Amino acid sequence: MKEISSFTIDHLRLLPGIYVSRKDQLGKETITTFDLRITRPNHESPMLTGEIHTIEHLGATYLRNHKEYKDRIIYFGPMGCRTGFYLILGGDCNSKDIVPLIREMFEFINDFEGDIPGATAIGCGNYQDMNLTIAKHYANRYLNEVLYNINDERLIYPS
């Protein structure tokens, strides 16, 4: 079988950032998949499910309610390796295009107080596995170490 492109990225050199993972054509529409890398693969521990689940609920809620982007959001969810998230948008986009959106989303997560949207037995299949405190820690770290001063090293996959 042909190796998929995401397995050809050098994960030993990959830093937390925002990367275009792939672009696909769906009829006449381009779909862009982004790699939102929160932790450094193979250099630090991956996130645990409670914080990933919390970021997923808060991030999806933010994105699907965003005034400009809500109709372009196809998917937002965690990577199996637990080092980040995939965001799939309708349209032909570049990493720099979505920096303001991702910054706003992680500020929303960092500042969030109260009940996590959808974290109920009716709204979620594992509603008790949430960790807002640690989710906010990762959001704050991503904002300060990556998003507020992002550069090409964290916008373009290492070659």
Q: How many CA atoms within 13 Å lie on the side-chain side of 86?
A: 15
- 10 vs 101: which has the higher pLDDT: 101
pLDDT at 34: 98
pLDDT for 17: 98
Q: Which sign, positive or negative, has the C-alpha torsion 99, 104, 105, 110?
A: positive
Beta-ladder partners of 84: 37
Q: What does the domain layout of the chain look like in residue ranges? A: 5-149
Buried b (16+ CB within 10 A) or exposed e, 11-30: beebebbbbbbeeeeeeeee
pLDDT for 2: 82
How confident is the model over 102-139, as pLDDT tens digits? 999 999 999 999 999 999 999 999 999 999 999 999 99
Half-sphere exposure of 92 (CA within 13 A, CB side): 5
Q: 48-59 pLDDT, tens per residue? A: 999 999 999 999
Share of the chain above pLDDT 90, in %: 94
List phi, psi (to 5°) of 117.
Answer: -55, 135
- pLDDT score of 14: 95
Query: Are the C-beta atoms of 55 and 85 separated by less than 8 Å?
Result: yes
* Residue range 5-149, CATH number: 3.30.1360.80
| Cβ pair 131, 48 in contact under 8 A | yes
Q: Please state, rounded to an integer, the average pLDDT across all residues of the chain.
A: 96
The pLDDT assigned to 159 comes to 82
**0.85 cut: is pTM over it?**
yes
pLDDT of residue 7: 82
Calculated CA dihedral for residues 93, 96, 98, 100, nearest 10 degrees? -160
